[in-house]
Structure 1
């Protein structure tokens, strides 16, 4: 039983995923600091005056629980976009390139689709012989079904 567990842990794809997660967490920390200490003050500045942030006080003045902080939401959105871009360009793109050199297609475009003439579902794979929703027989691929 332990031998099987050891073999599972030593598989290449498990190691690649573990390294990717560690790198993603490190980038997450870096990008969080960027948005907290660079983006948030810039967004808060757009409010003007001595305001603590971009937003509105919905309840009692000074009550943080009723402060609608749009600036923090914008900062979180910018954080998310930067994080996803970093993961895509520094992990996904090199991984696709590496796998392509090995002859493996990953994150490829989906195959051609057709429309089911019975239920009008538009996401039936072109090679399908039955509809996944209504189970009706499908015309052969290229017979004008989509």
Structure 2
């Protein structure tokens, strides 16, 4: 029982995923600090005056519960884009390169698909002979 668990943990894919997760969490903290300390003050300044942020007050002035903070959303969007770019260029690209050297293709383009004439499912592989949803025979593609 423990031998199987040890073999599972020592697989290369599990180690890569674990390292990627730890790296992602570390970069998440770094990018969150950058967004909170640099991006959000710039967005708040764009509104001018003594504004809390870029947005609109719907209720009583000073009530944060009724304040629509668009600046916070823009900051979160910028955070997401930066975070995903870091993950792609520091984890996905090296992983694709390593797997390509091993002869395995990962994160590749999906294969061609066709539409079932009976149930109109649009995600059938082009070489499928039967529909996976309704079971109807598929016309041959030459």
For 2:65, the equivalent position in structure 1 comes to 65
For 1:119, the equivalent position in structure 2 comes to 119
Partners of 2:49 and 2:25 lie apart in 1 by 36
Give the length in aligned residue pairs: 142
Alpha-carbon displacement from aligned partner over 1:55-84 (angstroms, at most 9, x marks no partner): 111122211111111100100011001101
CA drift at 1:120: 2.9
TM-score by length of 1: 0.91
1:133 is aligned to 2:133: yes
Ranges in structure 2 where 5+ consecutive residues have no aligned partner: none
Partners of 2:47 and 2:14 lie apart in 1 by 47
Partners of 1:29 and 1:118 lie apart in 2 by 50
Higher deviation after alignment, 2-11 or 42-51 = 2-11
TM-score by length of 2: 0.94
For 1:6, the equivalent position in structure 2 comes to 6
Partners of 1:94 and 1:7 lie apart in 2 by 24
Alpha-carbon displacement from aligned partner over 1:12-48 (angstroms, at most 9, x marks no partner): 1111111000100111111101110111011111111
Alpha-carbon displacement from aligned partner over 1:82-141 (angstroms, at most 9, x marks no partner): 101111111111111111111000011111111222233322111101112222100123
For 1:25, the equivalent position in structure 2 comes to 25
Q: Secondary structure at the match of 1:68?
A: strand
For 1:106, the equivalent position in structure 2 comes to 106
Q: Secondary structure at the match of 2:51?
A: coil
RMSD: 1.2
1:52 is aligned to 2:52: yes
